[in-house]
């Protein structure tokens, strides 16, 4: 039924290598479909590397009665923790409370729901805390917060390396037979009998025609552009673009916990420990109509985010402290909400075609957190339209590449790697195992020390790691490596980017054809 070999039609041509395209590619390839994914830039170049990086139910969505979304997201938290314990880990959130905010009973009720909407095995329940000495002891946040914040709450969610989650899904899809082509853009597609005939522009600038039984429009902020360019019907569903920005400042406090801070405008802003030495502050909600590829933070957003934290912390944050910022565009399903923060974060899947028409599935909205369920739902909707049985979902119980650690126990796995590699700095091994999980061994090989891993470009980034990223993770440029496959851009000395670019040109570009398809992960 499935798995027609190319150059005949592929079952699915997926447009977009963000989390939704990569998640659908993985699920579909595992169900035996032949899949090609095209991404116009690098994997996770856009919204999927610009998130707050939380795998969370979304406490604030309870206020909008988004119970379906919150429950699904809460269930996904623990599943994803088990599937990828290297890039996803628990994080405690501190919610300082004062009389000016939502009443304490309301917060308590929201947290009670948050604790009980889905089964929790690994994450602790919420609790009330004091920021001054009292019967329940003092939370370490006491020394960070201004003295008049005396009470609050804590609850747990998870952190995720968002762009790595995308890459791991693409790797897993490739290992199950999917073709992943980065720097490859869909130019046009039109129905030709029962298949789509799609024109793509390859990484080398050439044009190719691909035929496909179904098209998956997972183009994120470009979903509408793809739809309006094609002679297809989408039942009038539309997308609303909402910009969100983050600032990164030098670490504001010690300790592995984050803050959720309520602003006078009722929006919330997170302050999260980031990359050991930094604090990540975000986000904003600004209606957006320009080109999603060129979205950037405005001075007003920087000031808003700085003030959000200064309102709570003893030591204020100023825009001058910002070491880096990033912005992304949320491609939200337009539910006609009045303000940008209230637009639903749930996803809507639109399927057209069937019979003599080739199928088209378009993805509106979604969250990093719910990508796996979104992919499952997408295939359950799409396959019957393609005249096939959807079969059973399989993705919840299979680890992502590198996540196959015994009992999903990251700390024990890291301890074993450290014990077996005494010649390496522990900090380096920690970074490597966090990024690659069990696949770190492919980089370490038989090496006894860093010196055995080839040229070092800065920040302990070695040729062995760069080669691995090029060969297994579709990395092509210094930016791919320093900002999306890792966050080394925040740590490496000046000159690293140039050294890396020279190495990539000398060692890899000649060896890799411009439109190469990667070997499996």
Q: What residue ranges bind ligand FAD (CB under 6 A)? A: 15-21, 38-41, 45-48, 50-54, 56, 185-186, 218-222, 244, 283, 328-331, 363, 366-369
Q: Write a three-state SS string for 203-259.
A: CCCCEEEEEEEEEEECCHHHHHHHHHHCCCCCCCCCEEEEEEEEEEEECCCCCCEEE
Nearer to ligand FAD, 279 or 369 (CB): 369
Residue nearest ligand FAD (C-beta atom): 18
Nearer to ligand FAD, 247 or 359 (CB): 247
The CA-atom distances, in angstroms, between 238 and each of 214, 313, 347 are 20, 40, 12
Nearer to ligand FAD, 171 or 417 (CB): 171
Measured from the Cβ of residue 231, the count of other Cβ atoms closer than 10 Å reads 8
CB contact at 8 A, 112 and 104:
no
Nearer to ligand FAD, 53 or 139 (CB): 53
Nearer to ligand FAD, 43 or 414 (CB): 43
Residue 214 makes CB contacts below 8 A (sequence gap 6+) with 11, 12, 13, 196, 353, 358, 359, 360, 361, 382, 385, 386
Nearer to ligand FAD, 19 or 481 (CB): 19
Measured CA to CA, the distance from residue 112 to residue 179 in angstroms comes to 45
Measured CA to CA, the distance from residue 236 to residue 230 in angstroms comes to 14
Measured from the Cβ of residue 30, the count of other Cβ atoms closer than 10 Å reads 22
Q: Considering the complex, what minimum distance in angstroms separates the CB of residue 49 from ligand FAD?
A: 7
Q: Considering the complex, what minimum distance in angstroms separates the CB of residue 448 from ligand FAD?
A: 40
Q: Considering the complex, what minimum distance in angstroms separates the CB of residue 427 from ligand FAD?
A: 26
Q: Considering the complex, what minimum distance in angstroms separates the CB of residue 133 from ligand FAD?
A: 34
Nearer to ligand FAD, 329 or 461 (CB): 329
The CA-atom distances, in angstroms, between 486 and each of 9, 210, 515 are 35, 32, 23
Measured CA to CA, the distance from residue 155 to residue 281 in angstroms comes to 18
The number of CA neighbours under 13 Å toward the Cβ of 297 is: 24
Q: Considering the complex, what minimum distance in angstroms separates the CB of residue 376 from ligand FAD?
A: 15
CB-based burial label for 411 (10 Å; 0-12, 13-18, 19+): exposed
Tell me if residue 448 falls in helix, strand or coil. coil
Nearer to ligand FAD, 27 or 39 (CB): 39
Q: Considering the complex, what minimum distance in angstroms separates the CB of residue 415 from ligand FAD?
A: 29
Q: Considering the complex, what minimum distance in angstroms separates the CB of residue 365 from ligand FAD?
A: 7
Q: Considering the complex, what minimum distance in angstroms separates the CB of residue 470 from ligand FAD?
A: 19
Measured CA to CA, the distance from residue 62 to residue 54 in angstroms comes to 17
């Amino acid at each position: 039924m499935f798995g027609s070999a190319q150059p005949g039609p592929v079952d699915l041509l997926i447009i977009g290598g963000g989390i939704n395209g990569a998640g659908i590619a993985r699920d579909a390839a595992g169900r035996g479909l032949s899949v090609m994914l095209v991404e116009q830039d690098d994997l996770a170049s856009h919204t999927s590397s610009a998130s707050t990086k939380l795998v969370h139910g979304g406490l604030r969505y309870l206020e909008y009665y988004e119970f379906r979304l919150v429950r699904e997201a809460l269930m996904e938290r623990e599943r994803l923790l088990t599937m990828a314990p290297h890039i996803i880990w628990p994080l405690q959130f501190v919610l300082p409370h004062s009389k000016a905010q939502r009443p304490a009973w309301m917060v308590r009720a929201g947290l009670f729901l948050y604790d009980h909407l889905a089964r929790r095995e690994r994450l602790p329940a919420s609790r009330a805390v004091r920021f001054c000495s009292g019967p329940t002891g003092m939370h370490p946040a006491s020394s960070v917060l201004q003295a008049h914040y005396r009470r609050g709450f804590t609850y747990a969610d998870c952190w995720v390396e968002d762009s790595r989650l995308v890459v791991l899904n693409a790797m897993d899809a490739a290992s199950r037979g999917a073709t992943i082509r980065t720097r490859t853009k869909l130019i046009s597609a039109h129905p030709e009998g029962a298949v789509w005939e799609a024109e793509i522009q390859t990484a080398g600038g050439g044009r190719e025609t691909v035929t496909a039984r179904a098209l998956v429009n997972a183009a994120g902020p470009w979903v509408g552009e793809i739809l309006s360019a094609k002679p297809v019907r989408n039942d009038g569903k539309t997308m609303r673009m909402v910009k969100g920005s983050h600032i990164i400042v030098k670490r504001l406090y010690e300790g592995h916990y984050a803050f959720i801070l309520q602003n006078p405008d009722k929006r919330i802003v997170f302050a999260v420990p980031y990359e050991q030495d930094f604090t990540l502050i975000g986000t904003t909600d600004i209606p957006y109509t320009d080109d999603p590829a060129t979205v950037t933070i405005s001075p007003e957003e920087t000031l808003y985010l700085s003030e959000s934290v200064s309102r709570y912390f003893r030591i204020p944050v100023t825009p001058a402290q910002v070491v880096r910022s990033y912005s992304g565009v949320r491609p939200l399903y337009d539910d006609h909400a009045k303000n940008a923060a209230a637009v639903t974060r749930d996803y809507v899947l639109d399927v057209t075609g069937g019979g003599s028409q080739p199928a088209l599935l378009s993805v509106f909205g979604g969250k990093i957190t719910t990508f796996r369920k979104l992919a499952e739902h997408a295939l359950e909707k799409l396959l019957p339209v393609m005249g096939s049985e959807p079969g059973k979902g399989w993705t919840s119980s299979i680890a992502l590449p590198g996540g196959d650690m015994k009992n999903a126990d990251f700390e024990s796995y890291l301890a074993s790697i450290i014990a077996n590699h005494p010649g390496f700095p522990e900090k380096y091994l920690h970074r490597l195992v966090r990024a690659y999980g069990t696949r770190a061994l492919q980089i370490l090989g038989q090496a006894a020390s860093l010196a055995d891993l080839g040229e070092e470009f800065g920040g302990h980034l070695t040729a062995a790691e760069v080669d691995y990223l090029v060969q297994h993770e579709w990395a092509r440029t210094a930016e791919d490596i320093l900002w999306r496959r890792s966050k080394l851009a925040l740590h490496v000395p000046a000159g690293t980017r140039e050294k890396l670019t020279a190495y990539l040109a000398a060692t890899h570009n000649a060896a890799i054809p411009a439109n190469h398809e990667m070997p499996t992960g």
